[in-house]
């Protein structure tokens, strides 16, 4: 469902509803998708280092002033990826984008109303998870898509680890030391996910272009194509 089988022709792939090729625009979209994920992961790394590694009185304490900007850059990176991500079910894609937007709005409201960085505020106020949580729900959605399509173990870990981290903090059921372990595990898994995206063939992130073409057709055009495919199947038999 998430990929296509290569045919004999170079750079030609046989999809469910017809043959298709990788075009330059497809490559740009995939690279943009992967770059956005990498930016988000890098921002998470920097923000975690600042939040956990820089104490009050440290000569590097001034970096805390950049935490909100780093969060916004990371959110922007994921936002770009959610525009470019290839998901056959358009309503699902829009829902994930809506979750992202809701989480960003919640983060901006905290930034506008609180003197401390949003990361520190959420850490000291578990109820703030309700504001930023939808953003991480969008992350879970991406992990689910990638896990279903490619069977990546890191995506399965992210899918379960993300809500565990947020719900554990929100409920207060997880000790602070355990929360830190969950956060570091989330960070490490995110970096692995972002890095391994660059090792995949470009066509994997494109999916089956014939399916997207089919879904963009009118109902009448879809019926004609299905009849044509059925006739071709009969002739082949």
Burial of 125 (0-12, 13-18, 19+ CB in 10 A): middle
Among residues 14, 12, 61, 23, the alpha carbon closest in space to that of 229 is found at: 14
The 10s digit of each residue's pLDDT in 175-227 is 999 999 999 999 999 999 999 999 999 999 999 999 999 998 888 988 988 88
Which residue is associated with the tokens 């709005």? 105
Neighbours of 157 (CB within 10 A): 19
Q: What is the pLDDT of residue 67?
A: 94
Which residue is associated with the tokens 């304490």? 61
Q: What is the pLDDT of residue 30?
A: 97
CA 39 to chain centre: 11
Within the chain, residue ranges assigned H as helices are 24-53, 67-84, 90-113, 118-124, 129-150, 153-171, 176-197, 202-206, 209-216, 219-236
The 10s digit of each residue's pLDDT in 147-170 is 999 999 999 999 999 999 999 999
Confidence at 237, pLDDT banded by 50, 70, 90? low
Which residue is associated with the tokens 């929360």? 179
Tokens encoding 199: 């090792």
Query: Degrees (nearest 5) of the Cα angle 228, 234, 237?
Result: 140
Q: What is the mean pLDDT of the chain?
A: 91
User: How does DSSP assign 129-169, residue by residue?
Assistant: HHHHHHHHHHHHHHHHHHHHHH--HHHHHHHHHHHHHHHHH
Q: What is the pLDDT of residue 58?
A: 72
Q: What is the pLDDT of residue 129?
A: 97
Judge whether residue 7 has pLDDT over 50. Answer: no
Confidence at 62, pLDDT banded by 50, 70, 90? confident
Q: What is the pLDDT of residue 5?
A: 43
């Amino acid at each position: 469902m998430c990929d296509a089988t290569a045919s004999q022709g170079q750079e030609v792939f046989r999809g469910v509803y017809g043959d298709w090729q990788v075009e330059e625009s497809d490559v740009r979209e995939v690279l943009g998708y992967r770059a956005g994920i990498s930016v988000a992961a890098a921002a998470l790394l920097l923000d975690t280092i600042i939040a956990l590694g820089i104490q009050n009185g440290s000569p590097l304490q001034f970096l805390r002033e950049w935490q909100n900007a780093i969060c916004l850059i990371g959110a922007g990176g994921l936002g770009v990826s959610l525009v470019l991500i290839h998901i056959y079910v358009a309503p699902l894609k829009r829902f994930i984008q809506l979750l992202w937007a809701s989480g960003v709005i919640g983060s901006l409201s905290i930034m506008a109303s609180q003197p401390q960085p949003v990361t520190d505020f959420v850490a000291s106020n578990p109820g703030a998870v309700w504001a930023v949580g939808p953003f991480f729900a969008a992350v879970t959605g991406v992990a689910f898509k990638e896990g279903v399509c490619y069977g990546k173990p890191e995506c399965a870990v992210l899918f379960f680890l993300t809500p565990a981290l947020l719900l554990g903090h929100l409920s207060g059921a997880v000790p602070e030391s355990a929360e830190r372990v969950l956060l570091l595990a989330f960070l490490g898994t995110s970096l692995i996910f972002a890095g391994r995206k660059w090792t995949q063939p470009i066509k994997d992130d494109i999916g089956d272009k014939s399916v997207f073409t089919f879904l963009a057709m009118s109902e009448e055009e879809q019926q004609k194509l299905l009849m044509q495919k059925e006739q071709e199947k009969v002739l082949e038999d």
